[in-house]
A and B are shown apart, each in its own frame.
Chain A
């Protein structure tokens, strides 16, 4: 009952200690997707050496001695990049002890650094990897403040070094959620935000000196916002409502160095021209089409397509707790393009929206997210069109290293290929 194409569950130590040559591989005869917004290339080859893409395209020569995998016409793509996740923070969402995504009783907020909490061995990472997700941003979202803390960028490799960039961005809630946390209104949210950034600025001037006696933030929280006000660390801003998006874009008047990334943006289509003009990347929650709250009355599945058409740097962000759903959501946006009066994406745009797009929003477009030369050797081989729901992942490489795809789920699947118990209980079948 085992999938023939699954690599055996190679002992982890082997993979960790993989010598450099193991990070070189060529995949040939591929239906090759670069992830740059273009459609697939037939009969393509991707060459990875020392963990990085050297070349990918229709006429790529494979040097002698490089391990070659014949994809036999299968789809080969960059690994998926999901820019809003809680990967590594949660084993089981509702099992509080196992869930580090929420810190609403902490005395700290902006200072929280999720990189300390990330568990590279957790099952959601394994399941997401088996779904073709190779890179993710881990966003801290739950504190008692509008600031969630500092997120991290991780890879999903089966090795201990998950964190690629710790303290990669700060996360702030400025819509309904932020208003509740700031004291009950959006006016309170902005008072809290402006004050916090001002306190960070003041601290920049005298990092070790005494502070005013009316500060609201702890020194550590204020210090954590210094890279935000100085434009060294992106600020993820979660907003949905059109008027909230306009407010956020206006923040740059007061704090010109802010590197904004907008998360959510259900009503982004209503302010698409302004978003496009700002150049601010948007990590949209795809397929939201219900007025689930009063800050997203204008929700429509055409949101992403309309923003894209208006020139917004939009890609897909949050897939709930299941980053592996990214291809399904992207595929829906392709399907939407056929619906009268709806706006969707081309296939190439849709795939880019779950690979190079989010990587670029994270400022990591040169590092991973596509198969352009110099990017990480993160490659996925699929058994069909990767955006099609019936397709699946057959092999995954991260930094050129082939990854194990076996996990708790696949082990259960194999055990229960037939439900009946044999001469011994099921517990002996492993």
Chain B
């Protein structure tokens, strides 16, 4: 279990980078107790308690490896030890003694799949009112709420996401009722008694924002602002103005009281909290990019972004990913111009593509969504290699949620988050055979008991069934 120690040490460094340094101003003009309390609070009060489960040194031998960075290795060998990827290579890579050798000939290996838009846990199954905790739809901006305080770690959806979708990392977002919906949380897809036990060590927080129809409908229907798209922007801008003032005061050591909402927004302005912006229409995305420049923050990804293909050039220039479905379309007005070639056209424009789910069923088939997008691109003459398409499900998502140094590709030193597929993952006929998280085997289709069954399902019809 040396891996736990190593992980812990690495973790401390990462967390310091993420949570510290949020402008503890040197020039302390006021050291009254109130000011100190507002300034020197615990930046990580619900820390991750996740620890990698024990693994054994493992060699996957003979598979086609898509490494998540866009490379394809035929008859590849992947070595996992101490929770990490230790080497990836071709058939000539030597396998040291002491490794459990798995013959993966004819099979495929990818990094663990990452879904950066999930509501598992906050809108869990069963989908009943008592469990519906994803939208604090009582005010148009609620950056003070944290998704992790809503996540129900017994959501049966987590197990399906792993068994059928190979999901090892996921970002749980608040819903899109609000312009600023709250903080996201990045999870390892490993059941725990506590949410803290699932939190991805070292992942930065995200801020869920939303533009378009949802906020204006939700609040307009309550007779309050915003009721229009211009209202959306006005409320956003007024809030960012406050956040800038708050941050300036903080940096000057003049805060006298804590403000949870402003702490989140100041984190965005510091660059330590990543903006995940629900937005469908191209014209609105372009305006949001201007708003981000106006206030000095960066949009990490637009989510849904069904019209992203219209502004691939703008997204590329702003280094903003488009986290999209392959072909959802038409269910609401702002999705009317969705086309199945969205990913292909974005790829052609050089923009960052991420395939996301926003759905407890879709998360089980992100690989198929990517394959659909690949096929639709091919039919208009845009040929995208399989290995590059896999990047849409792995490294690109990792980048958009700020964990790309830790996971998302099969590179020595990264987390041992790996899926062994029984066929090409870009085929409808393929399924995960085994899934490792931090080098620990967490799903094995060949072993009836080696699958997670949430508390909720014990004693229920179909407990432990294949799902």
Using a CB–CB cutoff of 8 Å, the interface residues on chain A facing chain B are 1, 3, 91-95, 123-124, 127, 242, 267, 270, 287-294, 297-302, 321, 328, 331-332, 334-336, 338-342, 383-384, 387-392, 408-410, 412-413, 416-420
Contacts and interface: CB of A to CB of B under 8 A. Distances in A.
B38 interface: no
B125 A290 contact: yes
In the A-B complex, list the 4 residue pairs whose CB atoms are closest, starting with the nearest: A390-B375, A298-B461, A331-B428, A94-B332
Given A290-B160, A335-B430, A3 B380 contact: yes
B336 interface: yes
Given A290-B361, A417-B380, A301 B127 contact: no
Contact of A409 (B340, B349, B427, B429): B340
Contact of B339 (A270, A384, A412): A412
Interface string B421-438: 011001111110000000
Contacts of B460: 291, 297-298
Contact of A290 (B157, B332, B427): B157
B238 interface: no
B339 A390 contact: no
B379 to A, nearest CB: 5
A113 B376 CA distance: 37
B359 to A, nearest CB: 10
B391 to A, nearest CB: 17
B448 A341 contact: yes
A270 B428 contact: no
Contacts of A412: 337, 339
B333 A95 contact: yes
A242 B462 CA distance: 12
A292 B339 contact: no
Contacts of A387: 428
Given A287-B361, A298-B460, A331-B428, A3 B379 contact: yes
B341 interface: yes
B126 interface: yes
Contacts of B466: 300-302, 339-342
B328 to A, nearest CB: 8
B35 interface: no
A47 B340 CA distance: 32
A77 to B, nearest CB: 16
A391 B375 contact: yes
Contacts of B329: 127, 409
Nearest to A90: B330
Given A94-B332, A388-B429, 12 more contacts: A242-B461, A291-B125, A297-B457, A298-B461, A298-B462, A321-B331, A383-B379, A389-B427, A409-B339, A413-B339, A417-B345, A419-B311
Nearest to B217: A94
Contact of A293 (B127, B333, B338): B127
Interface in B320-368: 329-333, 335-341, 345, 348-349, 360-361, 364-365, 368
B374 interface: yes
Contacts of A1: 380-381
B393 to A, nearest CB: 14
Contacts of A289: 160, 164, 364, 467
Nearest to A288: B361
Given A302-B465, A336-B431, A342-B466, A291 B331 contact: no
Given A328-B372, A417-B380, A420-B313, A338 B157 contact: no
B101 interface: no
B371 interface: yes
A409 B336 CA distance: 9
Interface in B230-244: none
B215 interface: no
A332 B125 contact: no
Interface string B374-392: 1110111100000000000
Contact of B368 (A293, A297, A328, A383): A328
B310 A416 contact: yes
B380 to A, nearest CB: 6
A340 B445 contact: yes
Nearest to B337: A412
B107 to A, nearest CB: 12
A390 B372 contact: yes
B422 A338 contact: yes
B467 A301 contact: yes
17 contacts: A3-B380, A289-B364, A289-B467, A300-B466, A301-B467, A338-B422, A338-B431, A389-B368, A389-B375, A390-B374, A390-B375, A412-B339, A413-B339, A416-B309, A418-B349, A419-B309, A419-B313
Contacts of B126: 291-294
Contacts of A301: 164, 466-467
A93 B374 CA distance: 27
B427 A388 contact: yes
B237 to A, nearest CB: 27
Nearest to A98: B333
A110 B162 CA distance: 43
A78 B198 CA distance: 48
Contacts of A417: 345, 380
A419 B341 CA distance: 13
Nearest to B378: A390
A190 B11 CA distance: 59
A413 B341 contact: yes
B216 to A, nearest CB: 13
A291 B431 contact: no
B431 A392 contact: no
B467 A300 contact: yes
A55 B429 CA distance: 31
B457 A291 contact: yes
B13 interface: no
B375 A297 contact: no
Given A290-B156, A301-B466, A301-B467, A419 B349 contact: yes
Which residue, B160, B335, B381, B429, has most C-beta atoms of chain A within 10 A?
B429
Contacts of B456: 291
A413 B372 CA distance: 15
Contact of B331 (A93, A292, A328, A338): A93
A416 B379 contact: no
Contacts of B457: 291, 297
A389 B428 contact: yes
B312 interface: yes
A300 B462 contact: yes
A297 B462 contact: yes
B446 interface: yes
B263 to A, nearest CB: 35
B253 to A, nearest CB: 46
A95 B332 contact: yes
A340 B375 contact: no
Contacts of B9: none
**Which of A288, A299, A417, A419 has the most CB atoms of chain B within a 10 A radius of its CB?**
A419
B461 A297 contact: yes
Contacts of A332: 365, 368, 428
A298 B309 CA distance: 40
Interface in B160-177: 160, 164
A409 B338 CA distance: 7
Interface string B45-73: 00000000000000000000000000000
A332 B160 CA distance: 14
